[in-house]
Chain A
Amino acid sequence: MPELHTRDINPAELPKQITDFVKGIATQYPNTKAMLIPTLIEAQKYYGHVSDEVAMAIGRLLKVPYGEVEAVIDFYTMILQKPTGEYIVGLCDTWNCEWGGAAALKEHFIAKYGKGVGEITDDGKFTLLMVECLCDCHNPPSLQFLQRGEHFTPTWSNNLTVELFDAILDDLAAGRADALRERFVRMERKQNAPDDRNWVWLVTTRNQYPCVLEGSGDAMKVIDGFGKFGDLKNDNPALHAEIAAAAKEL
């Protein structure tokens, strides 16, 4: 016979991160139930997922019956009931991203690790989740790496090719600190340039920047086209070297 629940957690035993969170927002709401979803999300940041015991303790803390807490957890897709790998790979496969090649990334992940959607890879590093439109549809496929830890740290990544995706996964698995750092993807001439300077799109693993190329040869500089942020803020020398090389080829 399965156990109904393993162990009750006294709400007082909940970690300070969660109780402080509730204290911090309590004045903004007329009742405690309204804090349920934000608190569950905070608990998930702390534990990585929301187990039955934690759900029960949060229910007690906020005076919400356990049945209602479970009903909420069931409804919202972001509240995870099972543990995940260290990184959650949230891949969008709504139309723009499907068109942009999400399926290839998904297939690659499954072939590489022999694990399906929602499973943890053998090294404990990754869980692939398919999500609906992340509203970043202009650079498909869209993908969000979420690193578990005291907070979920998100890194967006767009326009990924299978090769780049593979390299990022390997770097993350090897624990390379700069695994999610921006990398160069390609450079292309900008259509509809706003003026007659040398406009290009600089596409990286993270985004696409409209830039201006200035100078030539070794003195070639790539600058942020808007002039609002000064030079491209990026202290990544490898990226700059690649940009310079690509600019010369253009």
Chain B
Amino acid sequence: MAKGNPILMNGIRHECITPVSALDNEIGIRSLADYESKARYVPDGKPGGYRAIQHVLNNMSPEQVIDEVKASGLRGKGGAGFPTGLKWSFVPKDHLGPKYLAINGDEGEPGTFKDRYIMEDCPHRLIEGAMIAMHAIGAEQTYCYIRGEFYDSLRLLDEAVKECYAKGYLGDNVFGTGRRMHFQVHTGAGAYICGEETSMLSSIEGSRGHPKMKPPFPAIEGVFRKPTIINNVESIACAPAIIDAGAGWFTARGTEKSPGVKIVSVSGCVRNPGWWEIEYGTPIGVIVNELAGGLLPGRKLKGLIPGGSSCPVIKGEAAFDVPFDYEGCVAGGSMLGSAAMIVLDDSIDMVGVMRNFSKFYAHESCGKCTPCREGTRWMLQIHQRILDGGGTMEDLDLLIDIINGIEAKSFCPLGDAAAWPVRSAVERFPEDYIAWIEKSSRFNALKADGNGSASPAGSEETAGVEAN
């Protein structure tokens, strides 16, 4: 990691530790004039705004752009970390008719707060990135799907788009090259599932946000049944820097398998929650203790979720040694996800956390498939019952049983996302559950009957769930 003093970026606890970050100098630049006149990081230091796209339009073929992005090793920042250049190359080249770029700005994963700052504080970088991607995949239309609650992001990005149309940067004759490039900001309406890529496409088409069957993959048949590339806001916002500074700039940072930089948002029990752009591979301990100011006085780390509420909880201070990259987080027993780090100290009760997460997923399940629709609700009910003093030891088995029924059996990854954190809590923090259960009147009544932990999971317990 390139260490040093945090480079302060903007008013709202934004700090950056990379000496030259992909977003540096652009945070806070909302107007087109400022974007063009202020230097971003480019090797020769000249102002960079919309220079990358002009270079691409004049000098690079779509294949060259894709190769450059592939060479940079850029990985999708929306959750799965899929290589962006490779994804772009999946669009059939011989396809006649429209192709689309759909940008995922439906930021909704609990703990994540990064895309909104890109959309609000450097909207032009996103637009420029979208233009580069449109050139690479041969699309003429971008839809940027933004979560409906982000009124400010919607407004500010829309204003930036209008500026570009007025200057001929977007439209039917982009920069006088005869290319058509259009950009439409599309509002969501309050559904977490619309962050899942195929649901997002359903939503853009004007339907309920239900996921679609894959294959066909969106790159072959996506929105309006045309080839569509879906990328996260942050992934697209990296494109101008890759073109300007070259793939080598990216590969010189981070790790071999996770090159480059990533915005991490840190929330929970720390003194200085906020977001920073870091190099992949930075140890989690450095992020928590140096950037986020460490834990509150006298507290110890109980658990840490590296990638938002959909990821398993890593237990104890071992989490501090985990390098923050895709491979490191998996080896540490979790996932990097959307890089939304939630820090839990020893004052936190894991059952309460999981009740809350289960409530979230039960609320956000789209209802299309049974394991997720019913399973998330049962998980919520069981957690509520345990917290209300009605838990028994069988509830632990019952939770695992339900999780086994959701995991890998749901139609889309939301089911897994609901199940993984709860599995990690039950398996890694059983003592928290047991502490509640031992206080429960139901458990003690059963124990008095000589039945404390012996009753088979299933019959009686499931009845309890339903009655709840």
Contacts and interface: CB of A to CB of B under 8 A. Distances in A.
Do A and B come from the same complex?
yes
A41 B275 contact: no
A96 B189 contact: no
Contacts of A76: 148, 188-191, 209
B184 A28 contact: yes
B291 interface: yes
Interface stretch (B9-17, B52-60, B406-414): B9-17
Interface string A18-51: 0000000100111101111110110000000000
Interface stretch (B88-96, B124-132, B355-363, B389-397): B355-363
Interface string B7-38: 11111110100000000000010000000000
Interface of B: 5-13, 15, 28, 98, 107-113, 116, 141, 143, 147-152, 182, 184, 186-192, 203-209, 224, 265-269, 271-275, 290-291, 293-294, 309, 340, 342, 348, 353, 356-357, 360, 363-364, 366
Interface in A48-107: 62, 64, 68, 71-72, 74-79, 90, 93-96, 98-99
A138 B341 CA distance: 11
A131 interface: yes
Contact of A71 (B109, B204, B208, B309): B208
Contacts of A99: 268-269, 348
Q: Quick one: which of A40, A68, A139, A144 has the most chain B CB within 10 A?
A: A139
7 contacts: A34-B204, A37-B203, A64-B206, A133-B360, A138-B266, A154-B152, A226-B8
A152 B151 contact: yes
B227 to A, nearest CB: 14
B10 A226 contact: yes
B28 A75 contact: no
B271 A191 contact: yes
B191 A75 contact: yes
A132 B203 contact: no
Contacts of A11: none
Q: Quick one: which of A62, A77, A131 has the most chain B CB within 10 A?
A: A77
Nearest to B366: A75
Given A30-B224, A131-B149, A132-B192, A138 B208 contact: no
A246 to B, nearest CB: 18
A195 B6 CA distance: 9
Interface stretch (A178-186, A204-212, A235-243): A204-212
Contacts of B148: 41, 76, 78
B103 to A, nearest CB: 14
A83 B416 CA distance: 36
B360 A132 contact: yes
Given A38-B187, A137-B265, A229 B11 contact: yes
Interface string A172-193: 0000000000000000001110
